Amino acid sequence: MSQKSDGMNYAPQGKPSPVVKPGEFTFAAAFLEHGHIFGQCNGLLEAGAELKWVYDPDPKKVADFIAKYPQAKAARSFDEILADPAVKLVAAAAVPCDRGAIGGRVLEAGKDYFTDKAPFTTLEQLATAKAVVARTRRKYAVYYSERLHVESAMFATDLVAGGAIGRVIQVLGLGPHRIGNKAARPAWFFQRAKYGGILCDIGSHQFEQFLTFSGATDATVTHAAVGNYGNPETPELEDFGEASLLGNNGSTNYVRVDWFTPAGLSTWGDGRTVILGTKGYIELRKYVDVGREKTSDHVYIVDEKGEQHLNVTGQVGFRFFGQLILDCLNGTEKAMTQEHTFKAAELCLRAQLAAKRIA
Amino acid sequence: MSQKSDGMNYAPQGKPSPVVKPGEFTFAAAFLEHGHIFGQCNGLLEAGAELKWVYDPDPKKVADFIAKYPQAKAARSFDEILADPAVKLVAAAAVPCDRGAIGGRVLEAGKDYFTDKAPFTTLEQLATAKAVVARTRRKYAVYYSERLHVESAMFATDLVAGGAIGRVIQVLGLGPHRIGNKAARPAWFFQRAKYGGILCDIGSHQFEQFLTFSGATDATVTHAAVGNYGNPETPELEDFGEASLLGNNGSTNYVRVDWFTPAGLSTWGDGRTVILGTKGYIELRKYVDVGREKTSDHVYIVDEKGEQHLNVTGQVGFRFFGQLILDCLNGTEKAMTQEHTFKAAELCLRAQLAAKRIA
């Protein structure tokens, strides 16, 4: 299970659940800098999309990709993909600082864009993307995988929206990640300007979850800090980050992200989400029930009636991808609104900007 | 198990482990406003202390106390206890705002003082107590029960001190409490000036644990907030509080306390402590392993070698009480230094003062 030991190459697979017929929705994959591209493609393919092209400047990345997805044809240039009118959407996982500019090219070419998180590393990139979206009316979608591609988190999305725990007071998210073999990581991973900082990078998942679970549509950053506690040889790597937010509906958010998953953990990170409501709380043990079960998607619910433990693996699926395809075809926003997508991006950028360096 | 359903009357019992012979250490109990007094007395009695007196202005509280501890004689006044040279220590759980002044009287009478947490509600009370300690050389000890009277927390104290998880980066504490039948609570519980605010009151446990687990000897409050989300009929009750601290050794602390334990939880609160180190992490599920086991003191340890789950109930004991008795007799500080006791108190007061009211 090497996939499970390494978050960067963790590409969940679900049950095929096509929302379109063969040929109705064609996409391309480009810029394969982060292993999330495989999760993005799996999700779209399971929802019925057809993968036509792949592009990356590095022939080895392209060859590895085609080994997994033989239906993909290697494009000679990114422009070759942009010039193909059959392509409706481009999925990409570029170096984070380049994601905004690439998205601009995709949207200007009349296609929708589906980028790995974090979608931007600066507020200027976000402002530019907002302008391009307004002008082109295309979609700038983001793979916030720690909710969208996690069954327990999608399960909690519905539970909370249904009022299971009353009014949400706080969303607390712990996002530890394994750094693994640092020599196998790309250079940009250790360059602050390229990956954007830890709250921007792996923090982005957390702020998206806060908005979703709390129902807040905006928030202020009340505290943020980052540090390098254990990686002096890569000084620009922030291996610890934390932030507190106050939502515009009075809900709060605390987030801790780090690169300190110990070698002994059976998966890449003991990701947790605790959602506290006025009538109960929910804890998600997303990737492992530590010390108990080496399976994912454990949901603990405590309410007025009692304590429940559910394992929802295989019970929920990943509806985001099919909804995204239909949104692209129909001009709807059922998978995620553009406003929500951009607000989550803004919050991770603002948290990063507010962060004090404490170690 | 009504005791377990109600944190206010949760009085742990351990195995008797006397450090003194009968008659060598005599104490009195006074001011029985909080049920913690029973935990304080149990701990001292199991360590070999003799309980001679009890005092409270309310005869019913005294009668209930004597029903549990028939060896205690009802004092006609608090002064009667203070005047008895046989009494070495006074254990008390007064209304929080009165704890400092009562402690002053005890120390001035030449006895040591063992108060329920929080020991103060203002920095002025703390300053006065420091002066009294300096002048009298007596002890102002505090019952920080969520570590001292919790076997898993005492177990973690030793594990962390022994380097099991490397350098401590963060201590994260969740301290949810059940409010239960509000009509059965004393009036002071709902009066902000008397209980001191939620970060001062139940937050005090958390800051003591931060200092202990991290090894920090001081800290700054980087963020704090309090609110009333679900109790509009008692507007001075803060039912939610959170704080972030930065220790003087670079470690961080995040604390959330609340009064939202749902009716369905099998105990009074799903208290958790997560200690993140550079070489592993420890999670304590102190009072219940939610949805799994209705037993207390579950310790989860993840390090370079693997994941472990231990239940340490009955394995650790409560050494604090015996150490406190010997410290009083010998002038040592093995149970807890006065500096640490007061620093934990100071941090909860500073966090409370820094807190923004957000709901």
Say if the Cβ atoms of A170 and B264 lie within 8 Å: no
Chain A hits for B273, CB-CB cut-off 8 Å, are: none
A-facing residues of B in 257-276 (CB < 8 A) are 258, 260, 262-266, 270, 274, 276
Structure-block tokens of residue B142: 């505090």
Closest Cα to residue B65, out of B27, B31, B89? Answer: B31
| pLDDT value of residue A1 | 34
pLDDT digits (tens, 9 = 90+) for B287-341: 999 999 999 999 999 999 999 999 999 999 999 999 999 999 999 999 999 999 9
Question: Is B254 an interface residue toward A (CB < 8 Å)?
Answer: yes
| Cβ within 8 Å of residue B180, ≥6 positions away | B5, B6, B8, B268
Query: Mean pLDDT across the stretch A200-221?
Result: 98
- Model confidence at B3, pLDDT cuts 50, 70, 90, reads low
Beta-carbon separation of B169 and A300 below 8 A = no
Q: Measured over all CA atoms, what is the biggest interatomic distance in chain A, rounded to whole angstroms? A: 60
Taking residues B253-264, report their average pLDDT.
Answer: 98
Q: What residues does each domain of chain B span?
A: 147-318+349-358
Q: Is the pLDDT of residue A2 over 60?
A: no
Chain B residue whose CA is closest to A253: B242
Residue A168: list chain B partners with CB under 8 A. none
pLDDT for the residue numbered B2: 47
Nearest CA in chain B to A282: B290
pLDDT at A130 over 90: yes
- Using a 10 angstrom Cβ sphere, with 0-12 exposed, 13-18 middle and 19 or more buried, the burial of residue B184 is exposed
User: Which of A88-102, B11-25, B199-213, B337-351 is predicted least confidently?
Assistant: B11-25
B308·A291 Cβ contact <8 A:
yes
Residue B14 has pLDDT above 90, yes or no: no
Mean pLDDT of A276-283: 98
CB B24 within 8 A of CB B48: yes
**Whole-Å CA distances, A173 to A206, A256, A343, B95:** 6, 6, 18, 36
- CA B111 vs. chain centroid, Å, equals 21
Indicate yes or no: CB of A291 within 8 angstroms of CB of B309: yes
Contact A307 B300 (CB under 8 A): no
CB neighbourhood size of B57 (10 A): 12
Q: What is the DSSP-derived secondary structure letter of residue B20? A: S
B252 to chain A, minimum CA–CA distance in Å?
9
Q: Locate tokens 């302008």: which residue?
A: A131
Evaluate if residue A12 carries a pLDDT over 90.
no
Q: Is A256 on the interface with B (CB under 8 A)?
A: yes
Tell me the C-alpha distance between B310 and B337, whole Å: 29
Q: Find, in chain A, the residue whose alpha carbon is nearest to that of B264.
A: A306
Complex-level ipTM: 0.96
| pLDDT band at residue B235 under the 50/70/90 scheme | very high
Q: Give the separation between CA A249 and CA A146, rounded to whole angstroms.
A: 23
B residues 100-129 closer than 8 Å to A (CB): none
Residues 6+ apart with CB under 8 A from B145: B12, B36, B39, B117, B205
Return residues 187-216 of B near A (CB < 8 Å).
none
- Confidence label for B9 from pLDDT (cuts 50, 70 and 90): confident
- Whether B1 shows a pLDDT value over 70: the answer reads no
pLDDT digits (tens, 9 = 90+) for B110-127: 999 999 999 999 999 999
Q: Check: CATH 3.90.660.10 for A147-318+349-358? A: no
A with B: how many residue pairs have Cβ under 8 Å apart?
A: 160
Residues β-bridged to residue B74: B54
Task: Check if the beta carbon of residue A109 is closer than 8 Å to that of residue A28.
Answer: no
Share of chain A above pLDDT 90, in %: 96
Determine whether the interchain pair A358/B262 forms a contact, defined as Cβ–Cβ distance below 8 Å.
Answer: no
Q: Of A4 and B146, which is predicted with more confidence?
A: B146
**Could you tell me which residues are beta bridge partners of residue B241?**
B226, B257
Asked if the model's pLDDT at residue A16 lies above 90, the reply is: no
B309 touches chain A (CB under 8 A): yes
Terminal C-alpha separation, chain B: 34
* B282: nearest CA partner in chain A: A290
Cβ B244–A246 below 8 Å, yes or no? no
**Mean pLDDT of the residues in chain B:** 97
pLDDT given at position B11: 80
Count the neighbouring beta carbons within 10 Å of the beta carbon of residue B122.
16
Chain A: residue nearest B255 by CA?
A: A254
Listed residue (B31, B2, B349, B30) closest to B188, CA to CA: B31
Chain A partners of B270 at a C-beta cutoff of 8 Å? 281, 302
Q: For residue B241, which of B177, B145, B190, B188 has the smallest C-alpha distance?
A: B177
The verdict on B232 touching A (C-beta cutoff 8 Å) is no
**Nearest in space to A137 (alpha carbons), one of A330, A322, A326, A325:** A330
Determine contact: A277 vs chain B, CB below 8 A.
yes
Are residues B242 and A256, on separate chains, in Cβ contact within 8 Å?
A: no
Cα–Cα distance, A199 to A226 (Å, whole number): 8
H-run or E-run covering A310: strand A307-311
Residue that has been written with the tokens 């505290």 in this structure:
A223
**Encoded tokens for A103:** 């998205």
Nearest to residue B212, comparing CAs of B337, B303, B299, B123? B337
CB contact, 8 Å: A163 with chain B? Answer: no
Residue A297 is encoded by which pair of tokens?
């998607």
| Contact (CB<8Å) A169/B258 | yes
Q: Estimate to the nearest angstrom the gap between the alpha carbon of B305 and the chain centroid.
A: 34
The predicted pLDDT at position B10 comes to 74
Residue of A171, A198, A238, A244 to mutate for B, most B C-beta atoms under 10 A: A244
Question: How many angstroms separate the CA atoms of B348 and B146, rounded?
Answer: 15
Residues paired with residue B272 on neighbouring β-strands, in sequence order: B174, B285
Q: Where are the alpha helices (DSSP H) in chain A?
A: 2-5, 36-46, 59-68, 78-82, 99-108, 123-136, 145-148, 151-161, 192-195, 203-214, 319-330, 338-354
Task: With beta carbons under 8 A apart, name residues in chain A contacting B175.
Answer: none
Distance from CA of B322 to the nearest CA of A (A): 33
Distance CA A49, CA A323 (A): 12
Over chain A, what is the mean pLDDT?
97
Rounded Cα distance between B120 and A350, Å, is: 37
Q: In degrees, to the nearest 5, what angle opens at C-alpha B254 toward C-alphas A225 and B121?
A: 120
pLDDT (average), residues A244-252 = 98
Residue A307 to residues A227, A299, B151, B345: CA-CA distances in angstroms?
Answer: 37, 11, 23, 34
